[in-house]
Chain A
């Protein structure tokens, strides 16, 4: 059984411009100890997927209309809030993009880590503090006793993100959701954070959902990949499948439009492939494929038929009408 199973989740937001379907029948599976990468542009529903798993969809204006999310068989949609508070922070925890704004500036970082330990685990305050210091040590911060007494502004960006990781992992979660954990950091610090996450994952068999827009990050961190566009998952597969043989025109575009660092660059500067246009507003999605207006392989039927996910390899699924003929053959 998969650790986490998200099935046909639908999230609607009531906006002044009408109903926006921010998640449209999203289904995911995460096995224990595995990393799932979720990629897509901003506004594609990556972070909303994470929030719906955490039970944090802002309501109102948002609402989980239908679908089910199970963690080890326990249904999380419609769960009583006191029970969800026991799960959140203990079984599922989350690291946010901005380490600057997601720490409380008026408490020491040790205090903030100890807080979740006091809430979720038995034991005295001093035991919680000792464990917080041990967590700070385990994320590779020197002089953990002294750093635990520091306030967030006294630490660098990389250290703050380590503190966030220490806090997220303090109660030994089964699932860690990392929402663009390194976007605000330098590449050198990013490499440190990834190594740390991988070490902690192999020590504790934690599953990770990694949200990012960087295919390079995906290739380094994840086992499986889900590509999202306008609230739907449009392609899933193993990291090797997605990077080596992407099927959906959007996935191909996402990989090709980023200048990837080469060890032996060519003499000429080759033009980058572009994906024209922008993500459509979710209130104005029509009947057809949401990517059709930007797609270079568009067929006539793409305008009025929504493509369904179809198998195109062992673990590889894609939702595209232009490919469904190919995939079936």
Chain B
């Protein structure tokens, strides 16, 4: 199977410019050398704590933040170097669903207009056929066509996220970036949206880049999972491997921190509880960025940074202690 999205050595740094009175502003290493690829029709999940750079990486793929270094390829096209009108036209092929369905829809526009806007802007299809296209999109995401005339505040959170999905699907994209699409929704509604996303993926052969901090959701929806820590991928494997045989101590800690409904509170002793917060992405540590919180850290972990290496079939991890 060919890869739809290929990201190579992606770096996004913020700041670093000159201060008004001389001197340099500090550089934030938000994404610091990330590479991954997604085969067509599959889902890659990126997980990590807040501040790990997962959202910035996704925005860089969509060219919504400035890429400092590295390349992003969608199919045969290199989208990291496109500019102006070419970039605008390419945007048809990749869309995004945001976390908060309350702030990502224009409150003054009707739902039908919100979904129609990408069709008008990108000149998709015949102008007089667009209303039918919108009705079709509404049906696809499980909304009734007569709801096109309503305003966003008349919808519930789950329905709004359906509108976001319809808007993202309007230009028939190949890649959809989902930035925590269900974490703002109520528990009972999350399942409705997740099931819809899987159905749409099967029907339309969509490729998802799925950003989340909810490991249960990631396990449910993703084919492959990358774990990010302080701007870098520290472990990546297919869904089954990463959850059953995690290698990196950070992945292990992250998995064990998730409260499970299957174990009672009495047998929580086996958990690895991390102390403290991640270090600052301004002063990146010299060695492994996780060393300061790692229960297994040795002296070499503080001196040299571990590179990603193969630790199994389709399984990479960046840790000195993993064989």
Q: How far is the CA of A255 from the CA of B261 in the complex (A)?
A: 8
Q: Is the CB of B257 within 8 A of A220?
A: no
Given A213-B187, A261-B255: A192 touches B219 (CB 8 Å cut-off): no
Chain A interface: which of B71-79, B269-277, B309-317? B269-277
List the A side residues contacting B257 at CB < 8 Å: 187-188, 190-191
Q: How far is the CA of A190 from the CA of B273 in the complex (A)?
A: 10
Q: Mark A238-265, 1 if CB is under 8 A from B, else 0.
A: 0110010000000001110111111111
Q: Is B265 an interface residue (CB 8 A)?
A: yes
Given A158-B277, A265-B240, A274-B192: A239 touches B265 (CB 8 Å cut-off): yes
Q: Report B60 CB to chain A, min CB distance, Å.
A: 22
Given A156-B277, A192-B273: A214 touches B188 (CB 8 Å cut-off): no
Q: How far is the CA of A243 from the CA of B262 in the complex (A)?
A: 8
Q: Is A278 an interface residue (CB 8 A)?
A: yes
Q: Report A246 CB to chain B, min CB distance, Å.
A: 10
Q: Is A269 an interface residue (CB 8 A)?
A: yes
Task: Across the interface, name the chain A residue whose C-beta is closest to B239.
Answer: A265
A216: contacting residue among B221, B261, B274, CB under 8 A = B261
A side interface size, CB within 8 A: 50
Q: How far is the CA of A20 from the CA of B204 in the complex (A)?
A: 43
Q: Report A326 CB to chain B, min CB distance, Å.
A: 24
Q: Is the CB of A261 within 8 A of B221?
A: no
Given A216-B259, A259-B220, A269-B198: A186 touches B213 (CB 8 Å cut-off): yes
Q: Is the CB of A261 within 8 A of B219?
A: yes
Contacts of B260-294 to chain A: CB distance below 8 A: 260-265, 268, 271, 273-275, 277
List the A side residues contacting B221 at CB < 8 Å: 259, 269
Q: Is the CB of B187 within 8 A of A260?
A: no
Q: Is the CB of A260 within 8 A of B260?
A: yes
B side interface size, CB within 8 A: 44
Instruction: List the count of A-B residue pairs having beta carbons below 8 Å apart.
Output: 138
Q: Is B195 an interface residue (CB 8 A)?
A: yes
Q: Report A316 CB to chain B, min CB distance, Å.
A: 16
Q: Is A271 an interface residue (CB 8 A)?
A: yes
Q: Is B49 an interface residue (CB 8 A)?
A: yes
Q: Is the CB of A261 within 8 A of B187?
A: no
A263: contacting residue among B243, B274, B275, CB under 8 A = B243
Q: Is the CB of A188 within 8 A of B274?
A: yes
Q: Is the CB of A41 within 8 A of B187?
A: yes
B188: contacting residue among A219, A239, A253, A261, CB under 8 A = A253
Q: Is B156 an interface residue (CB 8 A)?
A: yes
Q: Report B238 CB to chain A, min CB distance, Å.
A: 10
Q: Is B190 an interface residue (CB 8 A)?
A: yes
Q: Is the CB of A265 within 8 A of B243?
A: yes
Q: How far is the CA of A240 from the CA of B261 in the complex (A)?
A: 10
Q: Is A195 an interface residue (CB 8 A)?
A: yes
List the B side residues contacting A255 at CB < 8 Å: 261
Contacts of B221-273 to chain A: CB distance below 8 A: 221, 239-240, 243-244, 253-265, 268, 271, 273
List the A side residues contacting B268 at CB < 8 Å: 220
Q: How far is the CA of A255 from the CA of B275 in the complex (A)?
A: 30
Task: Across the interface, name the chain A residue whose C-beta is closest to B50.
Answer: A186
Q: Report A216 CB to chain B, min CB distance, Å.
A: 3
Q: Is B191 an interface residue (CB 8 A)?
A: yes
Q: Report B112 CB to chain A, min CB distance, Å.
A: 21
Task: Across the interface, name the chain B residue whose C-beta is closest to A255.
Answer: B261
Q: Is B34 an interface residue (CB 8 A)?
A: no
Contacts of A38-82 to chain B: CB distance below 8 A: 41-42
Q: Is the CB of A260 within 8 A of B264?
A: no
Contacts of B129-157 to chain A: CB distance below 8 A: 156
* Interface residues, chain A, with chain B CB atoms under 8 Å away: 41-42, 156-159, 186-192, 194-195, 198, 213-222, 239-240, 243, 253-255, 257-265, 267, 269, 271-276, 278
12 additional A-B residue pairs with CB within 8 Å, beyond A259-B221, A274-B192 = A157-B50, A192-B273, A194-B259, A220-B260, A220-B268, A239-B264, A243-B261, A243-B262, A261-B215, A263-B243, A264-B243, A265-B243
Interchain residue pairs A-B with the least CB separation, the first 7: A216-B259, A259-B220, A257-B191, A191-B257, A275-B188, A215-B261, A259-B216
* Interface residues, chain B, with chain A CB atoms under 8 Å away: 49-50, 156, 158, 186-192, 194-195, 198, 213, 215-217, 219-221, 239-240, 243-244, 253-265, 268, 271, 273-275, 277
Provide 23 A-B residue pairs closer than 8 Å at the C-beta atoms, listed in order of the A residue: A41-B187, A157-B50, A186-B49, A188-B254, A188-B257, A188-B273, A188-B274, A191-B271, A213-B186, A216-B260, A219-B263, A221-B265, A255-B261, A258-B187, A259-B220, A260-B261, A261-B219, A261-B260, A263-B244, A274-B188, A276-B192, A278-B156, A278-B188
